């Protein structure tokens, strides 16, 4: 089976997983713990020598775990959770499509597949994430929400680049081979980790200043 087919079929598994995360709260808590444990395991395997970067990464993973649990305690958590996932996914898709279509100058040396056109595509496509709130007529959106989606998209891209740098300095292509065609959990969640951490702090601000609010 080609690598593309592997990636496609594995990606289909994301839909039942997201359903569990959004609507089966008991099982989702178990799933969150399992994923976080895999992430810690992969992070530990990347580093032959445990240094300050390793310890900082463990702290970031702890914040990621806590942010997931905290977001689950918010009212209407499923829409907010899905909003953050969509920002990450649409950023990845936009980066891939625009990078393939337009190519152009490289964004940064430590991640040679990243281009400026891909980064721009990530920013554009991530703006559609807020459409998820139109599924609930109680939600009203302020125009400023687009600025925060750009901010989270940039944060996600930085997280992706940082993981590329860490793998490069440790002579690793992937964080593991747990997910066929995709590498490891950290390969798939690198940008999402940062988006959720910042999203945990950002969502209450959006609600407080009525940039995202219920009528």
Comparison of pLDDT for 123 and 26, the residue scoring more = 123
- Residue 154: the pLDDT is 93
Q: Each residue of 138-157: b (16+ CB within 10 Å) or e?
A: ebeeeeebeebbbbbbbbbb
Q: Each residue of 11-49: b (16+ CB within 10 Å) or e?
A: eeeeeeebeebeeeeeebeeebeebbebbbebbeebbee
Q: Give the residues across from 213 on adjacent strands.
A: 140
The gap from C-alpha 181 to its chain's centroid, in whole angstroms, comes to: 18
Model confidence over 129-161: pLDDT tens digits? 888 777 666 666 667 778 888 999 999 999 999
- Residue 99: the pLDDT is 87
- Residue 14: the pLDDT is 66
- Residue 48: the pLDDT is 82
Q: What is the mean pLDDT of the chain?
A: 80
- Residue 75: the pLDDT is 67
Residue pointed to by tokens 């559609």: 128
Angle at 149 between CA 148 and CA 152, to 5 degrees: 85
CA distance 49 to 13: 34
Model confidence over 103-117: pLDDT tens digits? 888 888 777 778 899
Average pLDDT estimate for 16-22 = 68
């Amino acid at each position: 089976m080609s690598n593309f087919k592997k990636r496609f079929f594995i990606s289909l598994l994301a839909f039942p997983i997201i359903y569990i995360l959004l609507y089966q709260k008991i099982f989702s808590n178990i799933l969150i713990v399992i994923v976080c444990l895999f992430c810690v395991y992969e992070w530990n395997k990347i580093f032959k020598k445990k240094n300050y970067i390793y310890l900082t990464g463990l702290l970031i993973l702890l914040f990621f775990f806590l942010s997931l649990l905290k977001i689950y305690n918010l009212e209407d958590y499923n829409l907010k959770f899905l909003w953050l996932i969509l920002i990450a996914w649409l950023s990845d898709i936009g980066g891939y499509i625009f990078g393939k279509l337009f190519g152009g100058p490289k964004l940064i040396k430590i991640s040679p597949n990243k281009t400026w056109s891909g980064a721009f595509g990530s920013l554009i496509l991530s703006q559609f994430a807020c459409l998820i709130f139109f599924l609930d007529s109680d939600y009203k959106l302020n125009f400023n929400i687009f600025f925060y989606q750009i901010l989270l998209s940039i944060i996600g891209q930085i997280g992706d680049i940082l993981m590329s740098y860490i793998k490069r300095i440790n002579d690793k292509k992937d964080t593991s081979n747990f997910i066929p065609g995709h590498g490891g959990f950290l390969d798939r969640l690198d940008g999402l980790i940062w988006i959720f951490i910042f999203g945990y702090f950002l969502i209450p601000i959006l609600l407080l200043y009525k940039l995202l609010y219920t009528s």
